[in-house]
Amino acid sequence: MVILGREVLLAIGEEFGTGEVLRRLADPFWFQALGAFLGFDWHSSGLTTTTCGALKEALAQVGGELGLYAAGGKGAASRRTPQEIMARADELRAEPQALVYASRMAAKVDSAALQDGFQIYHHAFFFDREGNWCVVQQGMRGQTGMARRYHWLSEGLESFVCEPHVGVVGERAGLVLNLVAGEAAPAREAIPELARRPPGELAEELAALQRVKLPRRHMVLLSDINPARLRSVFLKAYESQAQDFERLLAVPGLGAKGLRALALLAELVYGAPASFRDPARFSYAHGGKDGMPYPVDRGTYDRTIQALRRAVRRARLGQRQELAALRRLTHIIQTPP
């Protein structure tokens, strides 16, 4: 998978540049097809972690040559993303701290501002020398064992906190608190204003609300809210005096429960509703390791590697016919007989 993934990255990077590699990785459907193309189970959460792991290892070999790098990964590896980005600082033409900020904000949004019941456990950050980046991260829902994948792309990103995703794929989650939905703008304006109020005042209002019978849809907001325990969280938000939602979201220690409480107060105090809209919306080439739809055909797999490797090598010598032939395959496949 590492070898084939490396040749795919080299082929796309040679033909279209690193920006196109990032655009394709940020496309949830192309990424899914790539995972299946590399031979992983199409219906497994492991497709995300294994594909990203293979690409990261491939870029460790040829990233300097391409000007394309990968950081992060599953579990503890995800927490090393900032250090891995900074390790490439001397090779970049962009400010590495901006990339670290992008990585942290993408993770914070999908773990706190978008509360869909999926716990983020995998975060892969791909970036090039010019400072372009994409994020592929995944969350798991413990009760069902199902996964959801979140895709981000720097190109065209206007805000980290308003409709920032290229795509979110996975099973529907039911009731969701979505503070980054376009229609949640009133809540994003009201929440920082609330957070600038004294923590004791907010805790008292929450305690009073827990004695009020609210509509059923508020259950997602009131669950697990403990006003006394939230005082320390509200204190951090108060001390930050954040002027907008993005700056507030960046405050360390302010997580899902604190934002859930502030979203509830924003609606009931200011009449500024959040959104409960869920943002979530295969292919084979070599078989899958689980034997579906057939076992991986190693002979075909190796021939694909050789074809891509040969096409890239010749293109670098000015002989681009083979890469051009690969591009024409798309038209042949899409043209009806």
Q: What is the pLDDT along the chain (337 residues), one digit of tens a residue?
A: 999 999 999 999 989 999 999 999 999 989 998 998 888 877 778 899 999 999 999 999 999 999 999 999 999 999 999 999 999 999 999 999 999 999 999 999 999 999 999 999 999 999 999 999 999 999 999 878 889 999 999 999 999 999 999 999 887 777 899 999 999 999 999 999 999 999 888 888 888 776 666 555 554 565 556 777 788 888 999 999 999 999 999 999 999 989 998 998 898 888 898 998 988 864 456 666 666 556 777 887 788 878 777 777 777 767 677 666 656 555 443 444 3
How many H-runs (helices) and E-runs (strands) does the chain carry?
15, 7
Name the β-bridge partners of 69.
Answer: 127
Q: What is the pLDDT of residue 221?
A: 60
The sign of the dihedral angle between the CA atoms of 16, 19, 21, 27 is negative
Q: Which residue has 């869920």 as its token pair? A: 278
* Separation in Å, CA 234 to CA 109, 122, 245: 18, 28, 14
Q: What is the pLDDT of residue 283?
A: 47
Distance CA 26, CA 203 (A): 40
Convert 49-66 to b/e letters by CB count within 10 Å (16 or more is b): bbbbbbbbebbeeebeeb
Whether residue 73 contacts residue 14, with contact meaning beta carbons closer than 8 Å, is answered with: no
Distance CA 228, CA 211 (A): 15
CA angle 222, 226, 228 (to 5 degrees): 145
* Separation in Å, CA 109 to CA 23, 245, 248, 268: 20, 11, 11, 23
The contacts of residue 58 (CB under 8 Å, 6+ apart) are 2, 3, 5, 6, 9
Q: What is the pLDDT of residue 297?
A: 75
Distance CA 232, CA 261 (A): 13
Q: What is the pLDDT of residue 178?
A: 95
Whether residue 228 contacts residue 304, with contact meaning beta carbons closer than 8 Å, is answered with: no
Q: What is the pLDDT of residue 53?
A: 96
- Tokens representing 76 are 């503890």
Q: What is the pLDDT of residue 21?
A: 97
Q: What is the pLDDT of residue 212?
A: 63
- The alpha carbon of 114 is separated from its chain's Cα centroid by a whole number of angstroms, namely 12
Rg of the chain, C-alpha, whole Å: 23
Distance CA 281, CA 314 (A): 40
* Separation in Å, CA 189 to CA 180, 185, 222, 268: 12, 6, 21, 14
**Distance between start and end Cα atoms, the chain:** 33
Picking from 216, 228, 277, the residue whose alpha carbon sits closest to that of residue 257 is 228
